[in-house]
Structure 1
Amino acid sequence: MPPVKKIVMWLLVIFLLYAILTSPNSAADIFNSVWDIITNGVKNIARFFDALLRG
């Protein structure tokens, strides 16, 4: 991993920890929203391939 990527990764981790520690309710709401987006995306991809295979 190049040094720039490592630095950006650490900054992201530090920011996430800061966000969670300073406002845990907002961080939980954001996490729930992101989780809903991911699960809906996976469900929609599964529906697409199911419809594609049914012909």
Structure 2
Amino acid sequence: MVKKILVWGSVAFLIFFVAFRPDSAANVVKSLGSTVMDVAQGFGDFFSSLVA
């Protein structure tokens, strides 16, 4: 029950954030995407160093 409330609350907050602050929401997504790419690049470099 609590999990359902948290999930729906998160979805509602996300919709509210995107609807009323689209520029801020886009910046958050860009930042998260950049962080994920940096982590993936780090793993790629690590495994390349292991093989080479």
User: TM-score of the superposition, structure 2-length normalised?
Assistant: 0.88
Q: Which runs of 5+ in 1 are unaligned?
A: none
- After the TM superposition, which segments of 4 or more aligned residues of structure 1 sit over 3 Å from their partners? none
1:48 to 43, 46, 49: 46
Q: What value does the CA root-mean-square deviation take over the aligned residues?
A: 0.9
Q: Percent identity?
A: 31
Write the distance in 2 (CA, Å) between the matches of 1:26 and 1:49: 35
- Once the two structures are superposed, the pairs formed by residues 29-44 of structure 1 within 5 Å of their partners are 29-44=27-42
